[in-house]
Amino acid sequence: MFATIVRIYMYALPLVILASVAEGLWFSKVRRVGYDWKAMLASVADLAGRRLIQLLPIGIATPVFAWAYEHRLFTILLDGVAACLGLFVGLEFFYYWYHRTSHRVRWFWATHAVHHSPNQLNLSAAYRLGWTGKIAGATVFFTPLSLLGFQPEAVLSAFALNLLYQFWLHATWIPKLGWLEYVFNTPSHHRVHHARNVAYLDANYGGVLILFDRMFGTCIEERAEEPCDYGLVSRVTSYNPLYIAFHAWIDLGRDLWTARSAREVAGYLFGPPGWRPDGTGLTTDNIRREVRSMAMPAE
């Protein structure tokens, strides 16, 4: 079963690239709308580099998964609807917290920032995911599922399918989808997630579902009066895949070099992106606080 899922995922990769090329041709040749082909090629280079790096026997999550499954509470086989549904919902829950943490903890953001670096949202952005995921160890978030009793291969296969679902969410030309918006993560929700607008920052972390965002207060609806502006708060304008992959790590290393205490080291590593010891950094909270203060009428 798991080998079949891996094959499906591998066969899907050329198809998603072809779909992104078709989207680019449609935008540029039919709709006569500017399409950033250089960004698309940078995303392909990112994908190729990531596939090569995944062949290396590195990663801190693998032994943690093995330990968790060795000490599992139960043994859960995917031999029925209830078990499959349990894995799906459990993965969604932990994906939400993995994704939210990837935006709120700089160590994980250094990898995830790659995905948000395109300044134009399109299907090619879906497979720009960075090269340092195995080193950062973000998949450790899913090990409770193996501790509960799901095989690590089943968890990672479900994670791969979750990411594959999200491919179509990066389309800007798909409108809101009615009642589906209340339950599922849709292109409209994901456009908000990729937007750098202050009103949209740090929202809509779900994978397939949007239910946990609604439950934990991070769901923000796309509004016609607030068009999405895509990219990082501090834009990346380079098309160099090496710079795209490592720029956030370089910035982190530069800040760690200036740290003068263990508190500052911890703040730079595990504080929110933009954290500064004096509290003046470009964190989401500070940006919103500044916008609110500017909007307040003068006395």
pLDDT at 4: 56
* pLDDT tens profile 167-195: 999 999 999 999 999 999 999 999 999 99
> Given its phi and psi angles, is residue 272 left (phi above 0), alpha (psi -120 to 50 degrees) or beta?
beta
What CA dihedral angle connects 38, 42, 43 and 47, to 10 degrees?
150
Average pLDDT, the chain: 93
Secondary structure element (H or E) that encloses residue 89, with its range = helix 81-104
The residue among 76, 19, 70, 72 whose CA lies nearest residue 44 is 19
**Residue 110 CB: number of other CB atoms within 10 A?**
24
HEC string of 235-292 equals CCCCCCHHHHHHHHHHHHHHHHHHCCCHHHHHHHHHCCCCCCCCCCCCCHHHHHHHHH
Query: Global pTM?
Result: 0.94
State the amino acid at position 36 in one-letter form. D
Average pLDDT for 133-143: 89
Average pLDDT for 70-99: 96
* pLDDT tens profile 242-258: 999 999 999 999 999 99
Per-residue confidence band for 55, with pLDDT thresholds at 50, 70 and 90? confident
pLDDT at 139: 86
pLDDT at 223: 97
Average pLDDT for 260-268: 97
